Structure 1
């Protein structure tokens, strides 16, 4: 990654807990002001990961759907998340030898995402996080974009363009967490991006149900199955996949009940074949959108947990070739950024944008009325 010693550089922490509900990734990074082009300074100082314990994960899963006394349960989850975030910050500070942090950018945990109804909800208690860490906290990044008529997501394409974009080169950054999104970094400098559909969310739910594992390590289980063409076709009939961007989605649509509906008539299918079909479904939704919107891309750089699913990456490469796309699939590690660090870095960058009073969204991506300063400040 490009590095530059700059007198105006400050240290930020980015925290991300995504739709996979596995834990929180944290990055401490020194950013020059502003990081708005690929040759700007960005120096990673420390990284950390705190897994969610079973109770916290269960709390978060419970709030993915309507339930009794939701306000109470969300408040308790927000407090527990803030304490987990604070533990991650402490781990980063310890690793960095007590480095002074200018601000923390934290995404929070998405429990509802309904931009078509004018709201999104990332639960968190940033006031408690500021109290526990003694550092300014920037949170609630998505609602300002929605207030301006946007989807509130994805927000990472602006960061991808700033850090990974190269003049005269066309590439795609595919962020595969619970949900998948792509950033199309066109050779002319323009940027597009949107959620393509499910990432790991359905695969994780299925392997948990049938093997008691939180994820399919390396995609090994899926690799032993055979795709069920009729089931795959039924999944591909989902209306969201046919929508034009800007668009975004989440667990509000792609959840176990959605999968159970698709499995009607396939009750006799082998669980491992269903897993193979889910892996193919994730890969095909990504590849179809890359073929539609970035057919000239030379590279597809994958980040998020999906970057560690070897079977998924192999299917991405094979399906791209089948659609005559010459793009080479690799992880963002080849660009100097570990795939599990990209989203946390993005929220450190968004915190910097807020502190500098610069827009953090791309209107062409989210559909907002224009660029907006994203986030809300909770002073230490």
Structure 2
């Protein structure tokens, strides 16, 4: 008989490269109803050297990727062990880790999340459940997004769950099916231009707010073929590197105006993606701190109530849900929805490594 209480750590590193998010979570389940408590949580920033490596890894050859994967697994394992020691966490059922996405090409039957090698369990000193995307791609799915099962189980009070990270993605119920997909790049592009202007990121969207929209660029962005594709669909950094940035750079527009225009583009695409333009929307991820972006979304969606949760959920929702994915795997229950990814069937995904 499955347990009713789980003591786990969820670990996530997103494409916006903010760092490694760790959340110590206690789940309780009774008669199919789940509750959670995020206890300790922390984001460990990357060193400059690691930041540079992860930014350019999309260009690495096979041997370089293998070394990166090995080195990153060591970094991740040591980070997890340090988090456990710092907070005096004991009696863990598992550590549930996403790793870091380097390549995501589901149309080629391939996705790579580094940091998921078996040695992570020995380094962390814990049972580790990880590598949640590969099986879905092998079953013909997009391997993404994976968070919607957690949205359904933990955040069913909301009509929409929107994550604003390196990319935006949304999940919602539609006639009894959970649907979800990536909408557009967000911080992968905004941070690029903020960096060029000498800032780590665009704090609260103040830089973008001071710029002007270039309507020709906005129109070109909104006409990209991805936005006309039906879901399931997902995005990787390749889309930013090969499509979005070259398009933006082809326009003779100041970086401030590029930021303003792309912020508008994000808001337009989010509004376009929601089938019903009313209800409650939960916004999480680093982009939820971008007040100007949120104001542009609200302008596009006047009948939607946009809610930004307390800090632990806002910053650690993805780590929380990967913790849940690991628990569902331990229970041999579905943790990936075919209605979301397009796989042949729902399944219980992930690899389990013993300490």
Are the structure 2 counterparts of residues 11 and 35 from structure 1 closer, same or farther at C-alpha, using a change threshold of 3 Å?
A: farther
Residue 195 in 1 paired to residue 195 in 2? no
Q: Of 234, 246, 260, which aligns to 2:232?
A: 246
Output the CA distance in 2 between the equivalents of 1:61 and 1:365.
Answer: 28
- 8 Å Cα contact 1:144-1:373 kept in structure 2: no
Q: Deviations over 1:338-360 (max 9, x none)?
A: 21110001110010011111111
Q: Deviations over 1:51-101 (max 9, x none)?
A: 011111111112123x4xx23322333234334323442344245433221
Partner of 1:231: helix, strand, or coil? helix
Residue 281 in 1 paired to residue 265 in 2? yes
Q: How does 1:127-142 map to 2 (within 5 A)?
A: 127-142=118-133
Partner of 2:237: helix, strand, or coil? coil
Residue 183 in 1 paired to residue 171 in 2? yes
- Deviation of residue 33 (structure 1)? 4.4
Q: Of 213, 217, 224, which aligns to 2:203?
A: 217
- 8 Å Cα contact 1:35-1:41 kept in structure 2: no
- Deviation of residue 194 (structure 1)? 0.4
Output the CA distance in 2 between the equivalents of 1:233 and 1:191.
Answer: 31
- 8 Å Cα contact 2:74-2:115 kept in structure 1: no
Structure 1's unaligned 5+ residue stretches are 1-5
| RMSD (Å), alpha carbons | 2.1
Structure 1 residue ranges (4+ consecutive) displaced by more than 6 angstroms after TM superposition: none
Are the structure 2 counterparts of residues 184 and 35 from structure 1 closer, same or farther at C-alpha, using a change threshold of 3 Å?
A: farther
Residue 312 in 1 paired to residue 293 in 2? yes
Which residue matches 2:56?
A: 62
Output the CA distance in 1 between the equivalents of 2:3 and 2:149.
Answer: 24
- 8 Å Cα contact 1:59-1:73 kept in structure 2: no
Normalised by the length of structure 1, the TM-score is 0.88
Which residue matches 2:281?
A: 300
Normalised by the length of structure 2, the TM-score is 0.94
Residue 11 in 1 paired to residue 10 in 2? no
Residue 73 in 1 paired to residue 64 in 2? yes
- 8 Å Cα contact 1:36-1:162 kept in structure 2: no
- Deviation of residue 243 (structure 1)? 0.5
Which residue matches 1:148?
A: 139
- Deviation of residue 145 (structure 1)? 1.1
Q: Which has the higher strand share?
A: 2
Q: How many residues align?
A: 354
- 8 Å Cα contact 2:38-2:312 kept in structure 1: no
Residue 332 in 1 paired to residue 320 in 2? no
Q: Deviations over 1:315-360 (max 9, x none)?
A: 1101112xxxx11112133xx8521110001110010011111111
Which residue matches 1:3?
A: none
Which residue matches 1:105?
A: 96
Structure 2's unaligned 5+ residue stretches are none
